[in-house]
Amino acid sequence: MNRIRERIKEIKSTLPGDVTLVAVSKFHPAEAIMQAYEAGQRVFGESRATELAEKAASLPDDITWHFIGHLQTNKVRLVVPHASLIQSVDSERLLRCIDAESRRAGKVTDVLLQVHVAMEETKYGFLPDELINLLDNGILEETPGVRVRGIMGMASNVDDDARIAADFKSIRATFDRIKSMSLPQAMDFNIVSMGMSDDYRLAIDCGSNMIRIGTTIFGAREY
Ligand SMILES: *Cc1c(COP(=O)(O)O)cnc(C)c1O
């Protein structure tokens, strides 16, 4: 039988009902995506603007595309028409750029703010306090072209479950802090995207409701 289809079914059968599975299809060909599609999967994550635009143009219209990688502002125009959720907003400049491009295109783009709690300096995202300050300063009143739906984060890339759980708990705590603020879009602020192939069960235990899984579904990526 088809392995991608089997893996999707296996993962889905163990997920709580309120957890959304994003199948991370970056670097995998259209045929692989179609196998997942045939298993009923409709939400896919991509991390490069051109790849997202090409796949969105050639694959079925009822697929929902999430952008999950670091997005350069000069690529925003390629992503906005296709992405139903941009998960990786990691700077004020990028947020404002997505807002401007969305308004130009006559749409409102759903986004997640990426929070940085991991040890690695190389990871992108706002520090929790930075994010609270940005929102406190009223940025959402100035950016009607985006709807902030929640936050996204990654745990440290370590072998230590205690550290990984601590990172997930800080991401969740940042979500809860923001949720308790009186924001313009408070009603729609309900997504906590955390957990990948190696750590998604732990992430769900720590309060995730959206997981992003690539390798476990599609196998190793060839870069
Ligand atoms: C690639 C990627 C994933 C998927 O990682 P796997 O370990 O292959 O499941 C999830 N989230 C982000 C932000 C990614 O870039």
Q: What confidence tens digit (pLDDT) does each residue in 55-81 have?
A: 999 999 999 999 999 999 999 999 999
Q: For residue 186, what pLDDT band results from cuts at 50, 70 and 90?
A: confident
214 alpha carbon – ligand 1 mean position (Å): 6
Instruction: Give the C-alpha distances (Å, rounded to integers) separating 26 from 7, 59, 93, 192, 218.
Output: 17, 14, 25, 21, 10
Question: Is the CB of 196 inside a 6 Å radius of any atom of ligand 1?
Answer: yes
Q: 18-55: per-residue pLDDT in tens?
A: 999 999 999 999 999 999 999 999 999 999 999 999 99
Share the mean pLDDT of the chain: 95
The atom number, within ligand 1, closest to the CA of 47 reads 15
pLDDT at 222 over 90: no
- pTM, rounded to two decimals: 0.97
Which distant-in-sequence residues (6+ apart) come within 8 Å of 175 by Cβ? Answer: 150, 151, 192, 207
